[in-house]
Amino acid sequence: MREYLLVLFVSAAVTYLLVSPVRKFAIAAGAMPAVRARDVHREPTPRLGGIAMFGGLLAGLLAASQLTNLGRLFVQSADVKALLSGAGIMFVLGVLDDKWGVDALVKLGGQMIAAGVMVWQGVTVISIPVPGYGPVAVTPTQGMIISVTLVVVMVNAVNFIDGLDGLAAGMVCIAAIAFFLYSYRLWLGYGVNDAAPAALFTAVLIGMCLGFLPHNLHPARIFMGDSGSMMLGLMLAVAAISITGRVDPDLVSARTGSQTLAVHALVPIYIPLLLPLTVIALPLADLLLAVVRRTWAGKSPFAADKQHLHHRLLEVGHSHSRAVLIMYFWAALIAFGTVAVSVTNTGRTVVLTMAGLCLVGLAVLLMPRFRPRAPKAVQPFVPPRYRSGERDAGQAAAEGVETPAMAELSAEDKALLGRIGTGATAAGRRGDQQS
């Protein structure tokens, strides 16, 4: 566990430190597209945050290669090389899209090429585990189709939810934590060595997300763009493929001493790819709804709109931060609930616990709006907007006060914020007078 935590911290630290220079580079390179009708942010924000995340990926894998136990994976398995190949292709494709824009079909073709390269290097489903029966082998063609489909679906699912500040990075982080716990348990608890690559990939993925989130929380200083969102989806898919089809249910049965216990231990992979699909159930549901909605309206499935789940939360009156937290809550409930089923001998406790948490979630939905603030102990390490006592940028500009968050803005941006803050203040006063 110590080696995994070290890799996680290295990946998080490198990603966090790279974001600021990457942000300056994105501004200089003009990777700040105008605000579109479907966007929820009010002013142009630099993209290319995926560059920092890719740096975190490289740093995490480099650190892992120098460690005693994790270093063996680089010799015994081709999964690491395959991940780097696929992630590199997806990263380049995302950078091109963030800067110049790439046609949807061209982007889909690039995603399939990245998936195909990884399949060619060995990251493919070779069998489907069925407890009590054993692995059911699939043909190379079937394995390729399953693997490529999983990569494309996962990449687009993550890309579709990247619509609010901090949403995609937070939900992928939650999914990666759940997947890491499950993979680590198979590796350590049951001696399934084939689960080690998945545990490594998800540990690095957690670090990338945690390092990027402080800069991406609302109001975001930088967006990850397609260069980041597609890479995150690909890493989740690779972690799923590297463990699915390589875990023998009979091996787990022998270690547990009982077929019944093996059944419970392998619940998340009863059906191929069940676990990775459940840990991002919300993004996948959003993806399917978007495809059905756009196709039904006679539009292309890739035509962007403003009807995603997070957009609907904003429409019903939730604030930006609160909508993100709501999505976090339900994603965590589904992901960790699925993992919990595999570590209990009965599903009753898990079902009752999830029902209680559902009630808590519904109660939170009815709470008054709030503005998240970081605890005092961690305030020196978070952006100024999450420290107690910091003024809203627009209000501070209207009052002629410069906050630390405004220090990097140009004179024109400060003047614009001042006009926005003055308008918001006047509108609030008019509302008070009318009421």
The 10s digit of each residue's pLDDT in 168-198 is 899 899 889 988 988 888 777 666 777 888 8
- Say how far apart CA 215 and CA 371 lie, in whole Å: 17
Residue 226 counted as an annotated binding residue: yes
- Say how far apart CA 126 and CA 9 lie, in whole Å: 33
**Which pLDDT does position 317 carry in this prediction?**
63
Rounded percentage of the chain residues whose pLDDT exceeds 90: 28
Q: Which amino acid is at 389?
A: G
pLDDT of 250 higher than 60: no
**Which pLDDT does position 395 carry in this prediction?**
45
Instruction: Please list the residues that pair with 130 across neighbouring strands.
Output: 134
Q: Report the sign of the C-alpha dihedral through residues 365, 371, 374, 376, in that order.
A: negative
CB within 8 A of 278, min separation 6: which ones?
268, 334, 335, 338
**Which pLDDT does position 196 carry in this prediction?**
86
**Which pLDDT does position 56 carry in this prediction?**
97
Measured from the Cβ of residue 355, the count of other Cβ atoms closer than 10 Å reads 9
Nearest to 78 by CA among 194, 177, 179, 176: 194
Place of tokens 């609010």: 164
Looking at per-residue pLDDT, the higher value among 17 and 274 belongs to 17
**Which pLDDT does position 20 carry in this prediction?**
93
Are residues 184 and 200 in contact, defined by beta-carbon separation less than 8 angstroms?
no
pTM for this predicted structure: 0.76
Place of tokens 């990027």: 212
Q: If pLDDT is split at 50, 70 and 90, which confidence band does 275 have?
A: low
**Which pLDDT does position 270 carry in this prediction?**
47
Coil, strand or helix: which one is 128?
Answer: strand
**Which pLDDT does position 372 carry in this prediction?**
56
Q: Span 131-146, mean pLDDT?
A: 78
Task: Calculate the average pLDDT of the chain.
Answer: 75
pLDDT of 434 higher than 80: no
- Mean pLDDT is highest, among 166-170, 182-186, 303-307, 391-395, for 166-170
